[in-house]
Chain A
Amino acid sequence: MFPIVNKKELNSNVTLLEIEAPFIAKKAQAGQFIIFRVDEFSERVPLTIADYDREKGTITIIFQKVGLSTQLLGAKEIGESILDFVGPLGVATEYDNMKKVAVVGGGVGCAIAYPQAKALHSMGVEVDVIAGFRNEDIVILEEEMKAVSTNFYLMTDDGTAGEKGFVTNKLKELVDAGNQYDAVIAIGPVPMMKFVCLTTKPYDIKTIVSLNPIMIDGTGMCGGCRVTVGGEIKFACVDGPDFDGHLVDFDELMNRNSVYKAREAELTRDHACRMDKLAKDLIQ
């Protein structure tokens, strides 16, 4: 069992949990992820390691409550435990020869972009962070990202916070203004990553994306996380999750991630009773 030692609601839909997992905390690196399972009946779901504390032996995860598993996880309180927590999985991000980098985060993707920016910043790399959100209500990690960036640009679709516009507008503007980036790291919804890659392609800027296909084991044994990169089948859990964005077949990934849409809707509808039961168990 893995106890929850800290919890914060970052916005109405995004939660931060700090979980005691000393083995994982000892090894975790930016770009890696864990797989959790709340209880015996739950799915195995991957989440990026947003932060780690080797001394305390804890891992921080930040997640959007999109479906049943993340809602069940979000319902857990400090002092409670979750059943399974495995990691660190995946290959850590490689930062060779980077002097100046643009880190682009979209929505909850900022939770994944933040540790990358932090790692780069601590290595002395010049980091421009561009964080995009739909509106001001869902902005997360603003102060944290500011603290680890050389320049921080906040974008919202409707202009209710920061500048109005998409992250790609800002990125293009910065590049056109003469900023020479050794790499762009883009993390967020698949369409956002796709458009960042389309933006950087003409400039031939190396663009790293962190892919989020559906996973089960996270060790390369189910093939469910397969993605096409440069025409080859790759397993995101062991070959990634980071890939060269200019080679990724994003449309295929979007399609594969839709596989259980109907079933998820059904589950989320039914899940009210599971949450009720959870509440009852808590009272008892």
Chain B
Amino acid sequence: MANMSLEKIKMPEQAPDIRNKNFEEVAMGYTAEMAMEEATRCLNCKHKPCISGCPVNVRIPEFITEVAKGDFLEAYRVITSTNALPAVCGRVCPQETQCEQKCVRAIKGEAVAIGRLERFVADWYMANVEEKKEMPAQNGKTVAVIGSGPSSLACAGDLAKQGYSVTMYEAFHQAGGVLVYGIPEFRLPKSIVQKEIDGLAELGVKIATNMVIGKVLSVDELMDDMGFDAVFIGTGAGLPSFMGIPGEALVGVYSANEYLTRINLMKAYISEYDTPIRNSKGVAVVGGGNVAMDAARCAKRLGAENVYIVYRRSEAEMPARLEEVHHAKEEGIEFNLLCNPVQVLDDGNGQACGLECLRMELGEPDASGRRRPVAVEGSNFVVDVDTVVMSIGTSPNPLIRSTTKGLETNRKGCFVVNEETNQTTREGIYAGGDAVTGAATVILAMGAGKTAAAAIDEYLQNK
């Protein structure tokens, strides 16, 4: 008989007023007992609606059944047959709009904690199974993977397992993409990402950091001079946007990318590191996505007294994961909703000293179906801060498209690909992840990397 409790088993967490002063992981994960008990909430539905909610179709009831039995190794095998990064996805997928949204248990009460169970299984595996991966027999073909975010990690992994000799080229000094430079330690410990990268190295993937493709080598040189048989482009959507309002060039105004990179990749929060970051008293983060939540929670942890989210729509429209919004509120982040910045104020010495905003009202729905915010005339007010972090979206970097002939991109600068194969408009060149979709999610990027790997395999087998 299934466990009919309406609520998920709670996940142990650091208390809000303690965790908002450290960078250790907020959510501590289920114990084996908790996981097995939560697993009994799954009804093993015949139609498996949850699976259709998962972009990579993790066979959810199947793995949960194994968890309930206590066979975590088997559960791991089920998950990883379609998902290359379960420890990451279990932590960062927006489950409430994906797998868990479709769970029948969500009709009355809370969905089965699919994400938490996935995380548990992956963590259990990392902690208990000492499996040294072996480099498979090589098939003599070579693939270059550009970028090292989730799409590239998944693509490289699948190809390496099939015997391809894969080289991954990363512009930064460290591999991992957004998983290392964007998403903070307290949400995704970097040791987990490192394990994934080490696993690739064991499979024989060569990881070349400090390689900005389009500058040091072009895609054509990779193919013509270096002799790669195929190329995968997983360069993400890292180009930050600014609002174009007065005062954005003042000292104290950051893009979220810069702010998070200084903190996460360059470890500004650890005193042994030389990376400087502004010592802020008040921080306004403009935006309502995961990136904004991460920036705000980092600012709080660095000691800012007042941290505000400034978002021009209402909470219902915020694209951030539910859990992040909830955690941010618990940690004392204040939400200024329905307000839009009009200028950053100058203290007279070129330093930011406030963010002037206008109040907004929700009007008619716009093209995205969300109600369009309309400014209320004369409602100007000032958020009292010395630091402003712009987190209003990013787009793909033009470096590769501008240095490679014949690679078509759309109006937003995203690579145009065949949806089934992820092949670009050039033979032998594939692309996936945010570079194709614009800023999206880890799981979609990972899925695209796997799709491309399968297509590359087919292409090279027939070539």
Contact = CB atoms under 8 A, between A and B. Distances in A.
Interface of A: 23-24, 27, 37, 41-44, 68-69, 83-89, 216-224, 226, 228, 233, 238, 249, 252, 255-256, 258-260, 263-264, 267
Contact of A23 (B217, B238, B239): B217
Contacts of A27: 215-217
Interface in B164-179: 171-173
B209 interface: yes
B278 interface: yes
A27 B403 CA distance: 14
Interface string B421-455: 00000000000000000000000000000000000
Interface in B184-211: 209-211
Q: Of residues A89, A223, A259, which shows the largest number of chain B Cβ atoms within 10 Å of its Cβ?
A: A223
Contacts of B171: 86, 217, 219
A43 B261 contact: no
B240 A221 contact: yes
Contacts of A228: 249
Q: Interface range on chain B: under 10, 10 to 19, 20 to 34, or 35 or more?
A: 35 or more
Contacts of A219: 171, 212, 215, 238, 397, 399
B336 interface: no
Given A84-B173, A219-B397, A43 B274 contact: yes
Nearest to A216: B261
A224 B251 CA distance: 10
Interface string B268-287: 00001111101100000000
Contacts of A221: 238-240, 257, 261, 397
A223 B251 contact: no
B262 interface: yes
B169 to A, nearest CB: 11
Given A43-B266, A44-B266, A223 B399 contact: no
A257 to B, nearest CB: 9
B276 A264 contact: yes
Given A23-B216, A216-B266, 16 more contacts: A23-B217, A24-B216, A27-B216, A27-B217, A37-B173, A43-B276, A84-B209, A84-B210, A219-B171, A221-B261, A222-B258, A223-B257, A233-B249, A255-B249, A258-B350, A259-B276
B240 A223 contact: yes
Contacts of A267: 274, 276
Contacts of B101: none
B183 to A, nearest CB: 15
B242 to A, nearest CB: 6
A238 B274 contact: no
Interface in B146-171: 171
Nearest to A232: B244
Nearest to B258: A222
B228 interface: no
Contact of A44 (B173, B216, B350): B173
Contacts, number: 108
A256 B249 contact: yes
Given A23-B211, A44-B173, A223 B276 contact: no
Contacts of B238: 219-221
B249 A258 contact: no
Contact of B239 (A44, A86, A220, A252): A220
B236 to A, nearest CB: 9
A86 to B, nearest CB: 4
Contacts of A89: 212, 215
Interface of B: 171-173, 209-212, 215-217, 238-240, 242, 244, 248-252, 254-255, 257-258, 261-262, 266, 272-276, 278-279, 350, 397-399
Given A23-B216, A86-B210, A224-B258, A69 B274 contact: yes
Contacts of A216: 258, 261-262, 266
Contacts of B251: 255-256, 258-259
Given A84-B209, A233-B244, A238-B399, A41 B273 contact: yes
B403 to A, nearest CB: 12
B298 to A, nearest CB: 15
Contacts of B209: 84
Contact of B216 (A37, A88, A263): A88
**Which 3 A-B pairs give the minimum distances between C-beta atoms?**
A255-B350, A222-B258, A221-B238
30 contacts: A23-B211, A27-B216, A43-B274, A43-B275, A86-B171, A86-B211, A86-B212, A87-B215, A87-B216, A89-B215, A216-B258, A216-B261, A220-B238, A221-B239, A221-B240, A221-B257, A222-B240, A222-B258, A222-B261, A223-B254, A223-B258, A233-B248, A238-B399, A249-B249, A255-B250, A256-B249, A256-B350, A259-B251, A260-B276, A264-B276
B212 A223 contact: no
Contacts of B211: 23, 86
Contacts of A233: 242, 244, 248-249
Contact of B255 (A37, A223, A264): A223
Contacts of A255: 249-251, 350
Contacts of B217: 23, 27
Nearest to B262: A216
Nearest to A223: B255
A220 B401 CA distance: 14
A181 to B, nearest CB: 31
Contacts of A88: 215-216
Q: Which of B210, B240, B250, B252 has the most CB of A within 10 A?
A: B210
Contacts of A43: 266, 274-276
A248 B247 CA distance: 16
Contacts of A42: 274
Given A23-B216, A84-B209, A224 B242 contact: no
Contact of B272 (A41, A86, A87, A260): A41
